[in-house]
């Protein structure tokens, strides 16, 4: 859909910057990467408490029913340990993608 | 509560402070030639260690374990907020702010919004953030000193402040360069090694206490265990999410975190440094809850019963208390105490310097006396440091909450004011000075309304808990900025061109 736009860089007089309507070319790709990372960040961080809030309201029943991992409830391990790893992973992937994007644009210039 | 003075930690503390002064002096002498010149070849891991050492305050070292000890699962909101915020910072504005090329929050605000009024506003906000953050550090110092000397909190606070201040003046006078990598290494070792020994004493897997504390939690009597493991024992889902979100946007808006992006030679190194930085910070946060869990294990095993008030009073030094309770060698108990003090002192140093800089340059020089000479400004900065330190001391005499909670208020303020100003400043060319000023005003009101008016209007505290006001606050401020900016003239063309050509180009 944006193929035609990408061929022609925005004119020098167009100074608009808007996260929701990124400029064609580098910025549009960058914003796509940002959106993907942010989605992966938000869903994992806030998805779990929302899920827990919706499904688990009774302490004794909850702890009897939820799956366990490493001897503790899986959600507990997820929040206490896994998510930090996930954040590190997200930063890693983001950096790889941005490195790739900026080097490909630098070559083009 | 305690009577006798504990000599081991005291002598160890004196030793550590003296050694760090000597090391500072020596390293200053050895790199006199290349003073101020950035070394290009620092590895990403070393940048990460610097990020982590800049980050680790009394809130991380002492505070988190205390919150877990009191509130179980709820403490993960702090842990995730203070790590996930780096993702937000890296993804949304790290590179762009760096390309913008302004090194402090007030500098950025003035350059982007072309307004000295906005600059003063942001400077005042940066100072207040430093103040609140410092109060939490002082509380940590006061608590540890009270424990160390067996004196009451207020005396310990005054004494601790004095020692900190003398150290600060001496170290500052010598320009003793602190080595952040070494600082991180010392802190993490003095945190994790005693934890391993505690796990061993209690009979749990000592190699990875970060995992074995889960086992310890399960071994507690069912009622206690359930309270810790069940997510909503100590806070509602709304409170959890609001707190976590607030700390995240606060991290992304915190001036002294952001400035770390500049002390690295290039953009790419700064980005990769964050990955390592998160890992190093993670090492601490994976471990911190274990102290809280093992403390509860010991209390249960020994049949000691703490009243809620006692637990609350001990929470902020539970890290040290746990080591003492399980009967660790005095040296290791001392190491923990000194780690806490070092984390607090280094944070205070950084914050007071930032705060005093904002007062002397952003407010005094820019607003009151533009003709001031450099030596005159230095004098103002020194006076400001002293004034700030005394002000913090006065507030810290009656600390309004746990270390982690006080710190969280500073994050709420950053998330409600500086975060939206940075975010829109970078991602929306149309954001102008009127929007920024209105946004910062609304953000400040939202942060302090529940604290000041909470007793009059209780619902205010339910919707906007003082530690967690940015879940509602940040979007409201962003909206305010958008509306006000739309109703007023756009920023000058040269600024928007700069954004397009410099800030948003590869």
Q: Do the chains contact at B504 and A26, CB–CB below 8 Å?
A: yes
Q: Is B202 helix (H, G, I), strand (E, B) or coil?
A: coil
Residue B169 pLDDT > 90: no
- Element of type H or E holding A69: strand A68-69
Which member of B79, B282, B427 has the closest CB to residue A17?
B427
User: Which residue has 């009622």 as its token pair?
Assistant: B223
* Structural domain includes residue B431: yes
Scored b (16 or more CB within 10 A) or e, B405-421 reads bbbbbbbbbbbbbbbbb
How distant is the Cα of A7 from the closest Cα of chain B, in angstroms?
16
* Structural domain includes residue B12: no
Reported as a single tens digit per residue, the pLDDT across B24-48 is 677 655 544 333 334 444 688 888 9
Q: Token digits for A27?
A: 């910025």
* C-alpha torsion angle, residues B18, B21, B22, B26 (rounded to 10): 170
Q: Using an 8 Å Cβ cutoff, are B418 and B125 in contact?
A: yes
How far apart are the C-alpha atoms of B407 and B129, rounded to whole Å?
A: 9
pLDDT at B457: 84
Residue B406 pLDDT > 90: yes
Q: Is A68 helix (H, G, I), strand (E, B) or coil?
A: strand
Between B2 and B84, the more confident residue is B84
pLDDT at A56: 73
Residue ranges of B 52-81 with Cβ closer than 8 A to chain A: 73, 76, 79-80
How far apart are the C-alpha atoms of A96 and B246, rounded to whole Å?
A: 28
The answer to whether residue B210 neighbours chain A at the CB level (below 8 Å) is yes
Return the closest-CA partner of residue B497 out of A15, A21, A9, A22: A15
Instruction: Report residue A34's pLDDT band, with 50, 70 and 90 as the boundaries.
Output: very high
Least confident window among B254-258, B385-389, B395-399: B254-258
Q: Using an 8 Å Cβ cutoff, are B240 and A55 in contact?
A: no
Least confident window among B113-127, B240-254, B349-363: B349-363
Between A2 and B194, the more confident residue is B194
* Structural domain includes residue B33: no
* Structural domain includes residue B36: no
How far apart are the C-alpha atoms of B230 and A56, rounded to whole Å?
A: 9
pLDDT at B172: 63
User: Which residue has 């070319």 as its token pair?
Assistant: A25
Q: Using an 8 Å Cβ cutoff, are B184 and B47 in contact?
A: no
Q: Using an 8 Å Cβ cutoff, are B119 and B274 in contact?
A: no
Q: Using an 8 Å Cβ cutoff, are B212 and B201 in contact?
A: no
Paired with A72 in beta bridges are A69
Q: Do the chains contact at A101 and B240, CB–CB below 8 Å?
A: no
How far apart are the C-alpha atoms of B148 and B136, rounded to whole Å?
A: 18
Least confident window among A71-80, B161-170, B238-247, B493-502: B161-170
pLDDT at A1: 39
Q: Do the interacting molecules here have an ipTM over 0.85?
A: yes
User: Which residue has 């209007």 as its token pair?
Assistant: B457
Helix spans in B56-115 (H): 58, 64-71, 75-89, 95-100, 105-113
pLDDT at B27: 65
Q: Do the chains contact at B289 and A75, CB–CB below 8 Å?
A: no
Residue B254 pLDDT > 90: no
Return the closest-CA partner of residue B291 out of B65, B492, B74, B104: B65
Q: Is B464 helix (H, G, I), strand (E, B) or coil?
A: coil
Q: Token digits for B5?
A: 């003075």
How far apart are the C-alpha atoms of B157 and B401, rounded to whole Å?
A: 16
How far apart are the C-alpha atoms of B177 and B175, rounded to whole Å?
A: 6
Q: Using an 8 Å Cβ cutoff, are B61 and B404 in contact?
A: no
Mean pLDDT of A28-39: 94
Q: Token digits for B335?
A: 């190491």
When scoring B73, B77, B87 by the number of chain A Cβ atoms within 10 A, the one with the most, hence best to mutate, is: B87
The answer to whether residue A96 neighbours chain B at the CB level (below 8 Å) is no
| Structural domain for A70, as ranges | 3-108
User: Which residue has 């302090």 as its token pair?
Assistant: B448
How distant is the Cα of B359 from the closest Cα of chain A, in angstroms?
33
Which member of B231, B274, B429 has the closest CB to residue A17?
B429
Reported as a single tens digit per residue, the pLDDT across B467-501 is 999 999 999 999 999 999 999 999 988 888 888 88
Domain harbouring B423, CATH code: 1.20.1730.10
Between A97 and B227, the more confident residue is A97
Q: How many CA atoms lie within 13 A of A59 on its CB side?
A: 14
Structural domain tally of chain A?
1
Residue B318 pLDDT > 90: yes
When scoring B231, B243, B494 by the number of chain A Cβ atoms within 10 A, the one with the most, hence best to mutate, is: B231
How far apart are the C-alpha atoms of B314 and B494, rounded to whole Å?
A: 56
Question: Quick one: what percent of chain B has pLDDT higher than 90?
Answer: 54
How distant is the Cα of B230 from the closest Cα of chain A, in angstroms?
6
pLDDT at B1: 46
CA angle B378, B441, B77 (to 5 degrees): 90
Task: Show residues of chain B in contact with A18, CB under 8 Å.
Answer: 427-430
Which member of A15, A38, A53 has the closest CB to residue B500?
A15
DSSP per-residue string spanning B126-194 = HHHHHHHHHHHHHHHHHHHHHHHHT--HHHHHHHHHHHHHHHHHHHHHHT----HHHHHHHHHHHHHHH
Mean pLDDT of B445-469: 89
Which member of A19, A27, A77 has the closest CB to residue B428?
A19
Query: Which one-letter DSSP state was computed for residue A82?
Result: I
How far apart are the C-alpha atoms of B246 and B421, rounded to whole Å?
A: 15
Q: Using an 8 Å Cβ cutoff, are B391 and B128 in contact?
A: no
Task: Show residues of chain B in contact with A59, CB under 8 Å.
Answer: 226-227, 230, 233
Mean pLDDT of B335-344: 92
Which member of B214, B244, B275 has the closest CB to residue A71?
B214
| Structural domain for B381, as ranges | 45-503
R_g (Cα) of chain B, nearest Å: 23
Residue B502 pLDDT > 90: no
What φ, ψ does residue B351 adopt, rounded to 5°?
-70, -40
Q: Using an 8 Å Cβ cutoff, are B312 and B143 in contact?
A: no
Reported as a single tens digit per residue, the pLDDT across A45-95 is 999 899 888 887 777 777 777 888 888 888 999 999 999 999 999 999 999
Which member of B90, B427, B493 has the closest CB to residue A15?
B493
Q: Using an 8 Å Cβ cutoff, are B202 and B295 in contact?
A: no
Reported as a single tens digit per residue, the pLDDT across B107-135 is 999 999 999 899 999 999 999 999 999 99
Structural domain tally of chain B?
1
Q: Is B2 helix (H, G, I), strand (E, B) or coil?
A: coil
How far apart are the C-alpha atoms of B397 and B362, rounded to whole Å?
A: 29
Q: Do the chains contact at A41 and B91, CB–CB below 8 Å?
A: yes
Task: Show residues of chain A in contact with B217, CB under 8 Å.
Answer: 72
Q: Do the chains contact at B506 and A102, CB–CB below 8 Å?
A: yes
Q: Do the chains contact at B73 and A46, CB–CB below 8 Å?
A: no
Instruction: Report residue B173's pLDDT band, with 50, 70 and 90 as the boundaries.
Output: low
Q: Is A72 helix (H, G, I), strand (E, B) or coil?
A: strand
Q: Is A18 helix (H, G, I), strand (E, B) or coil?
A: strand
Which member of A41, A62, A92 has the closest CB to residue B230?
A62
What φ, ψ does residue B119 adopt, rounded to 5°?
-60, -45
Q: Using an 8 Å Cβ cutoff, are B81 and B412 in contact?
A: no
pLDDT at B194: 95
Residue B269 pLDDT > 70: yes
pLDDT at B483: 97
Query: Which one-letter DSSP state was computed for residue B73?
Result: G
pLDDT at B479: 97
Nearest CA in chain B to A36: B91
């Amino acid at each position: 859909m944006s193929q035609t736009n990408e061929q022609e860089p925005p004119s020098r007089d167009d100074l608009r910057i808007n996260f929701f309507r990124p400029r064609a070319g580098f910025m549009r790709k960058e914003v796509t990467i940002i959106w993907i990372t942010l989605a992966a960040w938000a869903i994992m961080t806030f998805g779990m408490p929302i899920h827990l809030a919706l499904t688990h309201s009774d302490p004794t029943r909850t702890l009897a029913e939820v799956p366990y991992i490493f001897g503790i409830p899986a959600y507990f391990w997820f929040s206490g340990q896994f998510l930090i790893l996930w954040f590190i992973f997200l930063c890693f992937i983001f950096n790889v993608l941005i490195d790739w994007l900026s080097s490909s644009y630098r070559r083009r210039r | 509560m305690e009577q006798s003075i504990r000599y081991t930690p005291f002598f160890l503390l004196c030793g550590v402070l003296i050694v760090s002064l000597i090391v500072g002096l020596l390293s200053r002498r050895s790199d006199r030639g290349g003073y101020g010149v950035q070394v290009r070849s620092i590895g990403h891991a070393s940048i990460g260690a610097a990020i982590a050492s800049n980050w680790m305050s009394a809130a991380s070292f002492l505070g988190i374990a205390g919150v877990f000890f009191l509130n179980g699962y709820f403490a993960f909101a702090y842990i995730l907020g203070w790590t996930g915020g780096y993702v937000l910072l890296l993804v949304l504005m790290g590179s762009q702010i760096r390309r913008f090329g302004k090194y402090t929050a007030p500098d950025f605000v003035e350059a982007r919004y072309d307004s000295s009024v906005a600059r003063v506003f942001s400077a005042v906000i940066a100072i207040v953030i430093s103040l609140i953050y410092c109060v939490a550090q002082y509380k940590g110092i006061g608590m540890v000193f009270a424990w160390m000397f067996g004196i009451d909190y207020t005396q310990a606070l005054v004494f601790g402040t004095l020692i900190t201040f003398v150290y600060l003046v001496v170290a500052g006078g010598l320009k003793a360069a602190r080595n952040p990598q070494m600082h991180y290494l010392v802190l993490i070792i003095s945190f994790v090694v005693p934890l391993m020994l505690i796990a061993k004493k209690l009979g749990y897997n000592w190699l990875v206490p970060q995992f074995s504390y889960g086992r310890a939690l399960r071994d507690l009597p069912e009622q206690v265990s359930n309270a810790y493991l069940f997510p909503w024992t100590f806070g509602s889902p709304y409170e959890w999410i609001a707190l976590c979100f607030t700390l995240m946007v606060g991290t992304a808006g915190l001036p002294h975190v952001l400035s770390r992006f500049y002390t690295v030679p290039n953009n790419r190194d700064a980005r990769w440094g964050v990955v390592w930085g998160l890992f190093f910070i993670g090492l601490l946060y994976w471990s911190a809850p274990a102290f809280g869990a093992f403390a509860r294990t010991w209390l249960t095993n020994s049949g000691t019963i703490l009243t809620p008030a006692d637990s609350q009073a001990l929470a902020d030094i539970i890290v040290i208390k746990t080591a003492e309770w399980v009967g660790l060698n005095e040296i290791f108990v001392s190491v923990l105490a000194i780690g806490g003090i070092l984390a607090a002192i280094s944070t205070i140093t950084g914050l007071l310097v930032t705060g005093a800089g904002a007062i002397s340059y952003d407010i005094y020089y820019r607003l009151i006396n533009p003709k001031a000479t450099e030596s005159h400004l230095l004098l103002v900065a020194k006076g400001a440091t002293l004034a700030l330190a005394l002000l913090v001391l006065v507030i810290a005499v009656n600390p309004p909450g746990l270390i982690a909670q006080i710190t969280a208020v500073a994050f709420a303020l950053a998330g409600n004011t500086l975060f939206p100003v940075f975010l829109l400043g970078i991602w929306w060319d149309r954001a102008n000075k009127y929007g920024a000023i209105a946004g910062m005003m609304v953000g400040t009101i939202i942060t302090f309304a529940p604290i000041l008016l909470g007793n009059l209007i209780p619902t205010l505290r339910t919707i906007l808990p003082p530690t967690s006001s940015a879940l509602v606050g940040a979007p409201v401020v962003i909206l305010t900025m958008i509306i006000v900016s739309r109703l007023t003239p756009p920023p000058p063309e040269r600024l928007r061109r700069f954004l397009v050509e410099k800030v948003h180009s590869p």
